[in-house]
Amino acid sequence: MARLNKEDNQGDSPKTGEKKMSEINILVASSGTRNKIIRYFKENLKGKGRVIATDMSANAPSIYEADAFYLVPRITDPGYLPLIFDICKKERITGILSLIDPELSLLAKHKAEFEALGVTVIGSSEELCDLTLDKWAMYNYLMDRDIPCARSYMKIDDFLQDLRKGAISYPVFVKPAHGSASLSIAVANDEETLRVLMKQNSDMMIQEFLHGKEIGADVYIDMLSGQIVSIFTKEKLLMRAGETDKGRSFKDEKLFAFIQDFVNGAGFRGQIDIDIFEVDGQYMISEVNPRFGGGYPHAYECGVNHMALIVNNLEGTVNQPVIGNYEEGMIMMKYVEVMVRHE
């Protein structure tokens, strides 16, 4: 485990003890390349507390934006969680969140243990985190509740049967039923390709290729009241590596109502990211991630400050709804930044 302070070089951790009532320290786990998330939290904690980051790689640029960081093993390592508990105690952490999907369930599963340390897990329940990571389970969840979504199949024969009926057509996506970050997703335009892709492993599923406007929604559900207090929506103009590369902010009360109905019925908490398609005037859910999505900086730079909402909740304040409180037609354009440091 390595730790670095901004004020000094690698050294001793601060003494453990009681948190000051006004002190809010946030631990961002598995921060990776999400530098802006660290910066945004620091902006909102200035004078109130500190931002601590963890990652398994010393070459994760975001950790050098934090007030202090720790190098940790993989989340599957038996010593990982005890180490995180230790960091929470040493750094007097108030709230913890992760930026990778597999860790969301781990933190939620041990919510009571974090609470015993005075730490709030910023996120949804273990059940919902598991559900969103299992695309087949999520599909069935949506279908059972008559929520529009992309048709999905685990068996080729079921797909081919619907294909003959005209209920679906090529192209289709082939992707792992479990996974995140758009990994191992391919497109099949014919049965031969489909069969080859489905043989990659036993966990592959077939999903309808939705032709329409692709939308990203950044949503915050108050952790104290359970009420949706903020929604930001953007049209995805260009995608790269599974994330929004260029987008345009817009508003639609019908879309806001669609999101509210889904989220309220599910019971999410904290920050969530929803991928939606508009097909022939109908909104359809594609994917849900109960964390900050890669396109969240678009929302923040448009004044949709979910870091402030998190800080309010950690201070015991219930946020009031500010849904759609942003300007339409704001274009986000990602570009490459570089960090250079000594080994």
Residue 44 has pLDDT above 70, yes or no: yes
- pLDDT band (50, 70, 90) for residue 21: low
**Class of residue 160 by CB neighbours under 10 A (exposed 0-12, middle 13-18, buried 19+):** middle
CA distances to 31, 209, 232, 329 from 332, in Å:
22, 25, 13, 10
pLDDT tens string 55-103: 999 999 999 999 999 999 999 999 999 999 999 999 999 999 999 999 9
* pLDDT average, residue stretch 237-251: 84
Domains of the chain: 3-122 (3.40.50.20), 151-208 (3.30.1490.20), 213-333 (3.30.470.20)
The pLDDT of residue 269: 97
Q: What is the pTM of this model?
A: 0.90
Report the percentage of the chain scoring pLDDT > 90: 85
**Class of residue 246 by CB neighbours under 10 A (exposed 0-12, middle 13-18, buried 19+):** middle
The pLDDT of residue 9: 36
What span, in angstroms and rounded, lies between the C-alpha atoms of 182 and 243? 8
What span, in angstroms and rounded, lies between the C-alpha atoms of 250 and 232? 8
pLDDT tens string 130-141: 999 999 999 999
CA distances to 198, 266, 292 from 299, in Å:
37, 23, 11
